[in-house]
């Protein structure tokens, strides 16, 4: 799965092919976050962006008879066109997605290519979906395992009153979902603003407060002003993080892929606990962090605003792993090393590796030499190494931590404003960017040390 970019912030052009683990590194202010957020937005909205339209005859049949059948194979010849249309639609939508003005994305273009995408109708999976309207009408979508036909049923006590354009949009999104659901991962994003969101998420509910203020102060509410108050002040990935935390109480009832009753022995949660050293819960409409009890010390629970910056930074990761993650997802996380001590940056690398090896793709942006070097160590351990068992035992590394070179893709953004692919082999990622800086710092330190007078 390859994303192409043109005129996205600092970046003039380039491409990113997703691996099981994708690493994007580079200096500050070169567009790494733009890349990760754009990939997230494209994947999140692909169903809507695809713009698949049902022909009028089939649409009328659904209205009149309440049922229709669509052979999904009819779209396979147009797969490349569908993806191209989605790219064009998302490129136009970038200002809204980033909540900024059009001038920042003049000539911007984003594209998505899927290898062998003309064969993306997977007959070996079952697909089900549905939409309710005021509790009276239901559109049901079903594709049986082993079939390529999508059955659509429109149920109603009387003749349908759903506007045709709305029905077209609903059908478009569900047809696209049925087509792409087995080849396009469901994305979840963890932004670099997560520490502040965990601390101020209640105060960040700006739209609701602004709406109430306008209704209270205005003698005659202005509909345009009302619509504007409902718009988020933040880029969509940040807004999505705020919404997830706001819905914590309802979402925490779920079980993730890693918490499934049939797959408890994953090691992912154990790796997470090495980082958090505790647990989170909601109490009296407030997020609470409970550190692991130490022998001889009282049990402690404290509001998350009193917890350390690292705990605030890890909250969304903990929430995703325990409650939301599903097999086939992609986790997109900006700077996973945020607020972490070097030893916990190593632990983060191992957590990410375990997630990858348990079926969740991961895309990260990073500035961390510690994180990258640990990932490289996990890659090197996939090769033939003398005393490998002893090394792994000494480093407390398990088989589920090991990554193969072909699982990893790495990129940087050059001074020429281009995305450049980095070589990944049995030695790991080739990252001269970090090596040159480390060598320069070491050389300067040596010069100072050996120049000191006794």
Do 195 and 312 touch, CB atoms closer than 8 A?
A: yes
pLDDT category of residue 132 using cuts at 50, 70 and 90: confident
| In the predicted structure, residue 220 carries a pLDDT above the cut 80 | no
Q: What is the pLDDT of residues 332-359, one digit of tens each?
A: 999 999 999 999 999 999 999 999 999 9
Q: Which residues contact 97 (CB under 8 A, 6 or more apart)?
A: 37, 38, 41, 90, 235, 236
Residue 116 has what DSSP assignment? T
Q: What is the full DSSP assignment across 293-327? A: PPTTS----EEGGGS-HHHHHHHHHHHIIIII--T
Question: Which of 165-179, 202-216, 350-364 is predicted most confidently?
Answer: 350-364
* 3-class secondary-structure state, position 347: helix
Do 2 and 113 touch, CB atoms closer than 8 A?
A: yes
Place of tokens 């348990």: 358
Domains along the chain with CATH numbers? 1-51+76-117+328-454 (3.40.50), 187-327 (no CATH)
For the chain, give the mean pLDDT. 86
Residue 75 has what DSSP assignment? G
Average pLDDT over residues 173-180: 90
| In the predicted structure, residue 221 carries a pLDDT above the cut 60 | no
Output the pLDDT for position 305.
86
Q: How far apart are CA 29 and CA 185, in angstroms?
A: 28
Average pLDDT over residues 172-194: 91
Q: Which residues contact 420 (CB under 8 A, 6 or more apart)?
A: 14, 411, 412, 413, 414
Do 400 and 368 touch, CB atoms closer than 8 A?
A: no
| In the predicted structure, residue 61 carries a pLDDT above the cut 70 | yes
């Amino acid at each position: 799965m390859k994303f192409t970019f043109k005129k996205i912030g600092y970046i003039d052009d380039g491409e990113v092919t997703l691996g099981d683990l994708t690493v994007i590194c580079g200096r500050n202010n070169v567009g790494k976050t733009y890349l990760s957020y754009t990939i997230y937005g494209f994947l999140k909205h692909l169903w809507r962006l695809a713009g698949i339209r049902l022909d009028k005859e089939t649409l009328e049949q659904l209205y009149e008879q309440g049922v229709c059948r669509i052979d999904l194979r009819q779209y396979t010849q147009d797969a490349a066109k569908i993806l191209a249309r989605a790219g064009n639609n998302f490129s136009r939508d970038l200002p809204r997605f980033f909540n900024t003005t059009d001038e920042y994305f003049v000539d911007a273009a984003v594209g998505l290519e899927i290898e062998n995408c003309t064969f993306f109708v997977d007959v070996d999976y079952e697909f089900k979906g549905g939409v309710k309207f005021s509790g009276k009408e239901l559109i049901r979508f079903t594709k049986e395992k082993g079939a390529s036909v999508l059955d659509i049923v429109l149920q109603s006590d009387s003749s349908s009153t759903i506007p045709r354009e709305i029905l077209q949009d609903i059908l478009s999104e569900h047809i696209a979902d049925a087509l792409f659901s087995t080849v396009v991962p469901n994305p979840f994003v963890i932004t670099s603003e997560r520490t502040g969101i965990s601390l101020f998420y209640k105060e960040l509910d700006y739209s609701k407060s602004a709406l109430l203020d306008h209704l209270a102060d205005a003698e005659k509410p202005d509909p345009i002003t009302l619509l504007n108050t409902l718009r988020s002040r933040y880029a969509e990935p940040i807004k999505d993080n705020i919404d997830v935390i706001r819905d914590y109480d309802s979402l925490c009832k779920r079980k993730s892929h890693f918490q499934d009753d049939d797959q408890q022995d994953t090691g992912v949660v154990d790796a997470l606990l090495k980082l958090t050293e505790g647990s989170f819960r909601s109490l009296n409409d407030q997020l609470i962090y409970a550190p692991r009890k130490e022998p001889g010390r009282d049990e402690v629970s404290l509001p998350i605003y009193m917890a350390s910056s690292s705990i605030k930074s890890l909250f969304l990761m903990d929430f995703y792993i325990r409650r939301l993650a599903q097999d086939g997802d992609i986790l997109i996380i900006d700077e996973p090393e945020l607020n972490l001590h070097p030893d916990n940056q190593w632990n983060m690398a191992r957590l990410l590796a375990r997630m990858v090896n348990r079926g969740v793709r991961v895309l990260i942006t990073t500035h961390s030499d510690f994180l990258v070097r640990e990932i490289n160590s996990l890659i090197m351990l996939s090769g033939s190494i003398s005393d490998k068992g002893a090394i792994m035992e000494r480093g407390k590394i398990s088989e589920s931590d090991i990554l193969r070179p072909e699982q990893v893709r790495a990129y940087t953004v050059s001074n020429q404003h281009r995305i450049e692919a980095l070589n990944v082999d049995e030695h790991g990622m080739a990252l001269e960017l970090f090596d040159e800086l480390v060598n320069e710092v070491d050389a300067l330190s040596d010069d100072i040390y050996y120049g000191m007078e006794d």
